[in-house]
Amino acid sequence: MSDPLRLGRQSSWGERAGHLKVIVPAQGGPGARIEDGRVRVCLHLHTRPRSSDASLDPVDALCMAAAAGADFLVLTEHDASWTPAALAELRAAAGPEAARTVPLGGRELCLPDAHLLVVGALPPLAPELMGPGQTRALVEALHRAGCAVVLAHPWDVRWQIPPRMAKEWGVDAVEVVGARHREPGDAGLAAMRAAGLPGVAGVDAHHPEHLGLIPACLTLVPGWVRDEAGLIRAIRRGEVA
Ligand SMILES: [Zn+2]
Ligand SMILES: [Zn+2]
């Protein structure tokens, strides 16, 4: 794998977002930690074969997330969930280089009205919940199943979803950065503030050339987050930056 420190932009969305806390890219190479007491999460990434539009090897993704200082990597696949056994195999395959980063199985649901990132085990969902006009009911079902739900790339040209709509749907947070997607700008951030919606960063990596963007797209959660349940709690409480 390429030297991660030579990849990626060394800036943060928080600097541009003003009111939102700054995300500092990790420095110092594999295993480095920034001692500010917060936990770093790579929240939005796709690998093959569980996302049919991705070519990224999950072992490379986990190693890069570790090199970037991530404590968790949420694999938000499009088409299939990671089982606990598969996640354990992935950790074993990545070896000690990636030991600091815990991979978690999530999903990105591609719906007619929006793309939703789900953290936690996806419950069985009635097909009608996946149709147009059902996003609010779907988010409720995901919450009942104990998941956290983040609206992915709402400012992307294809979507242009206003924060008040995201609030109506009941999502826990919205993706403010994606390096690979349009960002909200001042008006979008003001609308987010008005709607009381927290923002998160997500790289939405699909291919090896996206790996270098991970350090600039980490979401921060409080230091008490130790596992998937804690991460879900932090997102649902809006304790994200
Ligand atoms: Zn998407
Ligand atoms: Zn995605």
Give the domain ranges of the chain. 4-19+42-237
User: Any idea which of 107-121, 178-192, 208-222, 223-237 has the lowest mean pLDDT?
Assistant: 178-192
81, 102 contact by CB (below 8 A)? no
Average pLDDT (187-191) is 89
Q: Is the pLDDT of residue 6 over 90?
A: no
Q: Is the pLDDT of residue 14 over 50?
A: no
pLDDT for res 3: 34
d(CA 149, CA 160): 18
pLDDT for res 13: 36
With cut-offs at 50, 70 and 90, classify the pLDDT of residue 57. very high
216, 25 contact by CB (below 8 A)? yes
Which ligand has the shortest distance to the CA of 115?
1
With cut-offs at 50, 70 and 90, classify the pLDDT of residue 158. confident
Instruction: Decide: residue 121, CB within 10 A, 0-12 exposed, 13-18 middle, 19+ buried.
Output: middle
Query: How many Å lie between the centroid of ligand 1 and the Cα of residue 176?
Result: 13
Average pLDDT (88-109) is 97
Residue bearing the bigger pLDDT, 102 or 18: 102
pLDDT for res 32: 40
pLDDT for res 16: 35
Q: Is the pLDDT of residue 229 over 90?
A: yes
Query: How many Å lie between the centroid of ligand 2 and the Cα of residue 128?
Result: 22
For domain 4-19+42-237, which architecture applies? Alpha-Beta Barrel (3.20)
Average pLDDT (12-29) is 36
Ion ligand 2: residue ranges with CB closer than 5 A = 108, 204
With cut-offs at 50, 70 and 90, classify the pLDDT of residue 98. very high
Query: How many Å lie between the centroid of ligand 2 and the Cα of residue 38?
Result: 24
Residue bearing the bigger pLDDT, 190 or 171: 171
Query: How many Å lie between the centroid of ligand 1 and the Cα of residue 96?
Result: 31
Q: Is the pLDDT of residue 218 over 70?
A: yes
pLDDT for res 148: 98
Q: Is the pLDDT of residue 27 over 80?
A: no
